[in-house]
Amino acid sequence: MSVQSETSSPNPQLDSDGGTALEPKHKRSMSRTQKILFFATGWLIVLMPFLFWWNTWFGRHLSDQQLNAYLHDDKKPRHIQHALVQIGERMGGQDKTGQDKSRHDQAGPDAAVKQWYPDLIRLADDPVEEVRNTDAWVMGQDTSGAGFHEALLKMLADSSPMVRGNAALSLVRFGDATGRPQIVALLQPAQINAPVSGHVVDADRPGTAIHQGGLLAKLATAGSSAPVEVRSPIPGRIRSVSQTGADVAAGSEVAVVDPGTEQVWEALRALYLVGQMDDVAAIRPYERELPDIPNHVRQQALETEKAIRARSAAPEK
């Protein structure tokens, strides 16, 4: 009888069924090239949104050289807007880093920013609505700017209700109430009419927040394969909109958009200074305690009406 040697191979492990277990397979590791591609892809997934945000964020500081280049970049309107926003901040008492100046230094805009004042007047006629809208706000930051007052008065006749409104708000800083009707209009809902007769093939829902230029509905028209888009001229909230399946005639109402909170807030603040008794009817809807009217807006509406009534009751000098 043979005896098993101590140095012989051990018995193979048995599986639960008594059979010989298979040797464990080694997992195939990623090659160096695959690892590099994997990490590069992950990095791009993170980097691309950041680069998009970085290039569209108006808070990114621009040097004077960049600012000048952006102001004249007609191919990229957002570059012009970016430059305008930073000019406005510097006109309004912030330094080049975006930090508020000390009270001692807040005598007015820094001298360097005035070199672009002629550009602000030039951009009042820019073909892009968003540029004109931002420009109207910026010119209100310095009432000493040569030509600003005249440019803003011309902008009261702009085709865009937002540009007209911003120009009117800026004029109040000049002590000029010429744009009061445009300010009152900022409190009114926007009625959007159909540009053509058609059949609604897509529409947003009532109660939805919408930005300026946001899509409200699409109309299918006879003789055209592409639907006609109906967009909102103001930011706000959709009060009503013709729903899918409806037929609309050219010039008939397609949607009504209530103005946004910021727009209402700025209009009420301006009317606090220049409002008249005729404006009270437009102010009163914002005095109500409703869920869609923030408390600070309601309070401002109450204060605005109070100021108007006090002004009306005061004897003329």
**Domain presence at residue 26:** no
For residue 65, report the phi and psi dihedrals to the nearest 5 degrees: -65, -45
How many domains does the chain fold into? 3
Could you tell me the CATH number of the domain that includes residue 59?
1.25.10.10
Are the CB atoms for 262 and 234 separated by under 8 Å? no
**Domain presence at residue 94:** yes
Both 96 and 218 in one domain: the answer is no
Average pLDDT over residues 219-234: 90
> Which pLDDT belongs to residue 4?
43
Both 73 and 145 in one domain: the answer is yes
Both 78 and 137 in one domain: the answer is yes
**Domain presence at residue 39:** no
Looking at per-residue pLDDT, the higher value among 60 and 144 belongs to 144
Both 147 and 116 in one domain: the answer is yes
Both 244 and 302 in one domain: the answer is no
Average pLDDT over residues 283-308: 94
**Domain presence at residue 29:** no
Both 146 and 209 in one domain: the answer is no
Which domain-ending residue is among 164, 185, 206? 185
> Which pLDDT belongs to residue 112?
83
Average pLDDT over residues 270-296: 94
* 199 secondary structure, DSSP code: E
d(CA 216, CA 202): 8
pTM (predicted TM-score): 0.75
**Domain presence at residue 23:** no
Q: How far is CA 242 from the centre of its chain?
A: 25
* Nearby residues of 282 by Cβ (< 8 Å), 6 or more positions away: 184, 187, 188
Of the listed ranges 18-27, 58-67, 236-245, 299-308, the least confidently predicted one is 18-27
Average pLDDT over residues 302-317: 89
d(CA 86, CA 188): 30
Confidence of residue 229 (pLDDT cuts 50, 70, 90): very high
Which domain-ending residue is among 185, 216, 244? 185
pLDDT above 90: residue 148: yes
**Which domain covers residue 304, as residue numbers?**
260-317
Q: How crowded is residue 153: how many other Cβ atoms within 10 Å of its Cβ?
A: 16
d(CA 288, CA 43): 51
Both 67 and 140 in one domain: the answer is yes
**Domain presence at residue 21:** no
> Which pLDDT belongs to residue 164?
96
Q: Beta partners for 94?
A: 100
Sheet holding 190-193, edge to edge: 190-193, 253-259, 236-241, 209-210
Confidence of residue 102 (pLDDT cuts 50, 70, 90): very low
Find where tokens 């360097």 sit. Answer: 112
Average pLDDT over residues 265-285: 96
Q: How much of the chain exceeds pLDDT 90, in percent?
A: 59
> Which pLDDT belongs to residue 62?
77
Average pLDDT over residues 275-302: 94
Both 163 and 271 in one domain: the answer is no
**Domain presence at residue 158:** yes
Q: How much of the chain exceeds pLDDT 70, in percent?
A: 76
Confidence of residue 7 (pLDDT cuts 50, 70, 90): very low
> Which pLDDT belongs to residue 40?
64
Average pLDDT over residues 116-130: 94
**Domain presence at residue 8:** no
Both 216 and 273 in one domain: the answer is no
pLDDT above 90: residue 127: yes
> Which pLDDT belongs to residue 12?
47
Both 83 and 207 in one domain: the answer is no
Both 250 and 308 in one domain: the answer is no
Which domain-ending residue is among 163, 185, 207? 185
Both 208 and 91 in one domain: the answer is no
